[in-house]
Amino acid sequence: MINLEIPKKLQDITTMAHQFANDGLRPISRKYDLLEQEEMPEELYPLSELLLAGGVARSDKPSISDPDSNRNGRSMMAALVTEQMCWGDTGLFLAMPGLGLGNAAVQAVASAEQKQEWGELFASMAITEPGCGSDSAAIKTTAVLDGDEWVINGSKIFVTDGYRSKQVVVWASLDTSLGKAAIKSFLVPKGTPGMEVTRLEHKLGIRSSDTAQIVFDNCRVPKANLLGNPEIAKTDAERKKAFGGVMQTFDNTRPIVAAQALGVARAALDLTTELLQEKGLALDYNKSYHQLSAIENDLYDMEADYEAARLLVLKASWMADNKQPNSKNASMSKAKAGRMGNQVALKCVELCGQLGYSKAQLLEKFARDSKIIDIYEGTQQIQQLIVARQVLGKSSSELK
């Protein structure tokens, strides 16, 4: 039986996250958007400690122990919390100490011993390269085993939190001639000799979160810092399984990134409704369709679009918690929510006219922040390609 209600335990956590975003992030949102500084926003340190103390940011075990029952655990909680935090401010959420996309990679493929050894992380994730964007299999950064150490060489761009994070999860190839079969991920602590942040990007949106270029020049890390299985796949079946393990990172993170779009869209809709009500336009859901004004019709359409994206995100997260393959659903949620978030935020700017376009309100910032969510973690086009492969039963070589 389908149950679309959020469990009470997660409802309480969601309420706590919303209060945190409203009282902690929203008041400093404009300040750090304007500053776009390299240093960590000082307010985030005590806010992060408060968040961790409240249990919102910690990995959560499934709410029930029966392996044959429905589970609502880490993935569902992360999606719900992320939406609320990004309702407050997406850039500040990304910059929060202790959070990071690399953390999800560790959770996806690291061994139990590695997770125990490293403990609490603030890890960024370095995948994209100057000559390799959405095609992760074309990575040219290399990792060569030399005794008990891996030697990493290459360059990564557009690394979210690459400057402020404490560790970087680096995607590198053990043998570039083998393509995706030889790609592995490595945890590289900041300060490791041979790793250097060479540039910080100035961006349209999420300006309070840093985006860095990192160069690896004979960067050595312990052999144990390879996440997951170190063996190179030899057969086609092994290669598919090996790269699937690496790509499981995206199956975990894409619903979370999609939830960021939900948060931005919800923030834009809430503020737009508030501003329009101040001008005398109060929504009346009892009206017949032919009685609606153009603005009301637009608002109802956006609410429906938001709700459709939200349900896709919740399903992909639920599937992850219940150990069901969710690659198609993760990409569907990312494609739908990413597009929806940007379209809703831009439409809200339009509906509010001068107030929407000026810095007197945060609507223009929501619109700027929303665009990157449709791009990173795989563009709209890549998500649609992944879904098409799943639906048609085609491999990446058969459908490009």
377 is catalytic: yes
Angle value at C-alpha 383, between 373 and 322, nearest 5 degrees: 90
Long-range contacts of 350-354 (CB under 8 A, 24+ apart): 351/272, 351/276, 351/295, 351/298, 351/299, 352/272, 352/275, 352/276
Cβ partners under 8 Å of residue 129, min gap 6: 139, 140, 141, 154, 155, 156, 157
DSSP for 70-103? ----HHHHHHHHHHHHHHH-HHHHHT-TT--HHH
Please choose, from the candidates 205, 253, 184, the residue with its C-alpha nearest in 3D space to the C-alpha of residue 370.
205
CA distance 99 to 75: 14
β-partners of residue 168 are 124, 188
Instruction: Return the biggest CA–CA distance within the chain.
Output: 75
Distance from C-alpha of 185 to C-alpha of 172, rounded to nearest angstrom = 6
The token pair that represents 4 in the structure block = 């679309």
Structural tokens at position 36: 């776009």
d(CA 121, CA 105) in angstroms, rounded, equals: 11
**What is the phi/psi pair of residue 91, to 5°?**
-60, -45
Residues whose CB falls within 8 Å of the CB of residue 241, separated by 6 or more in sequence, listed in order = 233
- Active-site residues, by number, are 377
